[in-house]
Structure 1
């Protein structure tokens, strides 16, 4: 059973571990931390915009209806994590490692996954327009009902599983990566 978190005792700090806490409605925006460990925690309706959390481990956690716009999680580890209905646009997960992670109904527009290990991650009903996947590992990552228009590093999707309904938006990025020019016969 988790207990309620409060900022006086459970604010993000360097080299601290938090376990089995319920972060609901808290404002954690703008925090800068290194080597934070969060396990078996729930984040709901939290503001985590512009957080810089390098080398952070997030395990067995859920993040629901939280705002993470502009946050940065370089070299982070996410294990058994579910992000649902979160706003994670303009964020960065460079060099992060994801294991058994699900992004569901999330706004991931222009999020940077460069050099991230996203093998077997599930993206369900997410807006990934303009997201960057350069040099990411995406073997067996699954994209279902996602907006993929304008993603970068599209060649890193080798081995990913993409729902047939999502191919329309992906086709333009694939064509551009291959140097194919698309014209409209009408114009």
Structure 2
């Protein structure tokens, strides 16, 4: 199925994820992503506030955005972090979407409370910068679905050398979905979205025992 990550597709996905009643899934065959999470047990249910925040923020940004542009990429294949504005971006292959949210000092916890709460350092979460929330597109029976990825990134002062990886979906830690060092796994995953992570990777490698 040929499709494009355009505004209409993203708004439809937000509506599908958020519109259903989380507790009314017994007879509804077309359950939402959030309903599905509530059915999979306590470990997955703890991710519901974060997933709701992902889609709520995306929906809010889309209300003010008329078109979905492609990510500004360097010749080395990395996002130009300092060029990002608060907006949704798509990848060239229409398989990924990144929501960028620029924040001033002390704003992150008010704009993205649940995501900010996953940052280990309160000092870092109060700094200005840009938050990147990645989504991936997966097809089931030729129907594309937008799914939040399990990690996100925060760049202090929109500096590409200051990547702070965030494990937003904590269920991946409790069900052993990530083998080994989760920080390294998150950085490699973010790299697949063209996020600049070389400095952060070098630092994480030095800290390994």
Higher helix share: 2
User: Comparing both chains, which one has the higher relative contact order based on Cα–Cα distances under 8 Å and sequence gaps of 6 or more?
Assistant: 2
> TM-score, normalized by length of structure 2?
0.26
> TM-score, normalized by length of structure 1?
0.28
